[in-house]
Amino acid sequence: MSWENEINDIYRRRELARQQGGEAGIARQHAKGRLTLRERIDALVDTDSFDEIGRGAGAPEHGPNGELTGFTPANFVLGFARIDGRRVIVGGEDFTIKGGSPSPAGLRKSVYTEDLALQYKLPLVRLHEGAGGSVGGSGGPSLPAPVFAPSRFRSVAQTLKQVPVASAALGAVAGLPAARLVASHFSVMSETTAQILVAGPKVVERAMGEKLSKEALGGAGVHARNGTVDNGAPDEQGALDQIKRFLAFMPDNVHQLAPVRPCDDPVDRAEDLLADIVPRERRRAYDMRRVLQAVVDLNSFFEIGRGYGRSQITGLARLNGQPVGVWGNDCRHLAGSMTADGAQKAQRFIELCETFHLPIIAFVDEPGFMIGSQAEQDSTIRHGARTVLAAASSTVPWASVMVRKSFGVAQAAHYGPEAYVLAWPSAESGPLPVEGGVAVAFHREIAAAEDPDAKRRELEEMLAQRQSPFPRAEALAVHELIDPRETRPMLCRWIDRVQPLLPQLIPPAAR
Amino acid sequence: MATAITLETGGTVWKLHVKAGDEVSAGQEVFILEVMKMEVPYEAPGAGRVKEVHIAEGDVVTEGQTAIILSSS
């Protein structure tokens, strides 16, 4: 066999590549309670479905006679795989080699991950644990990239316009991997093993004089609550499970529609709890998540961004098997008002639905933009107006259910163009809630009255009557005033009606 | 087994319906927080006995604070 030596070399290198950072490196990873990248991939994808690309990339070591004595694989692993039978591209940093800090071949492979997802038009999953560049360089002789090379981030940006991108932070993630982590449609961090950092404690202490642990700087307590990542998960497996759940709602790319599943939840299921979940006392809060869950297909609601912008609830769900975006106000948190961070979360949600052609159902209980000095400092109006404009420019079908309040400019964010609008008997709407409005418009009358408090209450009561949904129905300002128990049946009929509109949302192929 | 009811948001304790030793049923309203002029009711997640009460009416409370500890029956 004339090629025997080379063939043996191929197998040898493959074997060395599979050993990752060696027994000691793997043991260190396990001792910290973390999986290795290859174990993570196995835990995520269908059994034996991982089809690796670029196993030979790395740095060889040779003996005096040119024979192979060792091989350090690239510290980024990527390939094709299947999740629930559907093909994806998956990749991530191998922390057991150089702490995931990009080696020349590792960097090349990480960039290729995005290129492959674009070429094959497949969802991209990145499993991150690694640091950014090292001041000592990436090791090995290399020239800086030529000026005519495309920007390293161009393909990262393109993936966000073309295919679903889901990412997880599973250990410490800093620098370039951290930027990649958040350049995604859905990101999740393990609350027990992950931190996300622009720069680690040593750099921060040197530059800023702040002495903080990795966890205090960029643990889940910080980043699962400020929108850096969408969700937290109790551990690595929990994070991987969330990625699977997210991808199940997604098409493979923007040229397809999201997969409709058979649904065994009856479309005419009418939940009695909906008839009295909204208290008659206008100040009394209720649990909007119960409303959402009672309407969408059983157990299909997947919440995104629960830890931040908490006055708004966003997520994905199914209606008669059709994936939809679901949005509701949480009146238990800041009365459900549109805060600066709630507005950013809602805008991200609308853009996700728009990119992947998911119809949106909105359950409206919007008292308006958050007010007060903190809200002004947060630039609530700027973020809020952007959300209103994102809704106004969207092209996906919308159905909006007026559950209770719908006030001010902020309410406009909850109704996309040509929205199908249903109102519950508890709906009240207008330019602003009566309590604030009365205090401003009638301040003289109230001040002049014998009993100002009684006068104010009388005026509030009178004006609250005018905000009733019946005149809106009479004026066809809502499509239908409904028994709340009819919400699911009516939305399921709507989702059936809009089916022929969905293929029209698909953009023409680039080539 | 003990279950803690922790506060989802800050606010003011408006009404407290239970005291230590009370039996509660699943879904029973145990206290009401006032947040941004809204009354936010909290319910017992399961049946049990009130073991500890860490809030009082009128208290200004913060997010994440433990309000009540229940021992399940």
pLDDT in tens, A309-361: 999 999 999 999 999 999 999 999 999 999 999 999 999 999 999 999 999 99
Instruction: Tell me, yes or no, if A331 comes closer than 8 A to chain B by beta carbon.
Output: yes
In this prediction, residue A508 has a pLDDT band, given cuts at 50, 70 and 90, of confident
Interface list for A 432-491 with B (CB within 8 A): 435
CA-CA distance, A115 to A461, in Å (whole number)?
Answer: 61
**Of A22 and A501, the one with more pLDDT:** A501
How close is the nearest chain B Cα to the Cα of A371, in Å? 10
The ipTM assigned to this model is 0.81
Ranges A50-54, A241-245, A453-457: which has the least confidence: A453-457
How close is the nearest chain A Cα to the Cα of B33, in Å? 9
A180: part of which helix (H) or strand (E)?
A: helix A175-182
Number of domains in chain A: 2
Q: Are residues A286 and A206 in the same domain?
A: no
Q: Are residues A85 and A213 in the same domain?
A: yes
Q: Are residues A379 and A289 in the same domain?
A: yes
Domain residues for the domain of A313 are 273-427+478-505
- Fold classification of B2-72 is OB fold (Dihydrolipoamide Acetyltransferase, E2P) (2.40.50)
**Inter-chain touch B38–A435, beta carbons under 8 Å:** no
Give pLDDT, residue A506.
95
Share of chain A above pLDDT 70, in %: 97
Give pLDDT, residue A68.
80
In this prediction, residue A135 has a pLDDT band, given cuts at 50, 70 and 90, of low
DSSP class of A34: -
Q: Are residues A238 and A327 in the same domain?
A: no
Q: Are residues A315 and A414 in the same domain?
A: yes
Give pLDDT, residue A141.
54
CA-CA distance, B8 to B35, in Å (whole number)?
Answer: 11
Give pLDDT, residue A137.
54
In this prediction, residue A107 has a pLDDT band, given cuts at 50, 70 and 90, of confident
Instruction: Tell me, yes or no, if A334 comes closer than 8 A to chain B by beta carbon.
Output: yes
Most B CBs within 10 A among A273, A311, A333, A339, hence the mutation to make, goes to: A333
Q: What is this structure's pTM? A: 0.92
**Inter-chain touch A337–B41, beta carbons under 8 Å:** no
Instruction: Tell me, yes or no, if B41 comes closer than 8 A to chain A by beta carbon.
Output: yes
The answer to whether position A333 is within a domain reads yes
Write the single-letter amino acid at A507. Answer: P
Ranges A284-288, A306-310, A407-411, A430-434: which has the least confidence: A430-434
Confirm if A332 and A311 have CB atoms less than 8 A apart: no
**CATH number, position A117:** 3.90.226.10
**Inter-chain touch B9–A331, beta carbons under 8 Å:** no
Q: Are residues A179 and A308 in the same domain?
A: no
Give pLDDT, residue A318.
98
CA-CA distance, A298 to A301, in Å (whole number)?
Answer: 8
Average pLDDT of span A163-174: 97
**Inter-chain touch A332–B37, beta carbons under 8 Å:** no
How close is the nearest chain B Cα to the Cα of A350, in Å? 25
**Of A1 and A97, the one with more pLDDT:** A97
Q: Is A5 helix (H, G, I), strand (E, B) or coil?
A: helix
CA-CA distance, A19 to A259, in Å (whole number)?
Answer: 38
The answer to whether position A84 is within a domain reads yes
Q: What is the three-state SS of A152-167?
A: CCHHHHHHHHHCCEEE
Q: Are residues A28 and A167 in the same domain?
A: yes
Confirm if A173 and A99 have CB atoms less than 8 A apart: no
Of A285, A310, A333, the CB nearest to B39: A285
Strand order in the sheet with B2-6: B2-6, B66-72, B48-53, B23-24
Distances (CA, A) of A328 to A324, A348, A406, A508: 13, 14, 12, 32
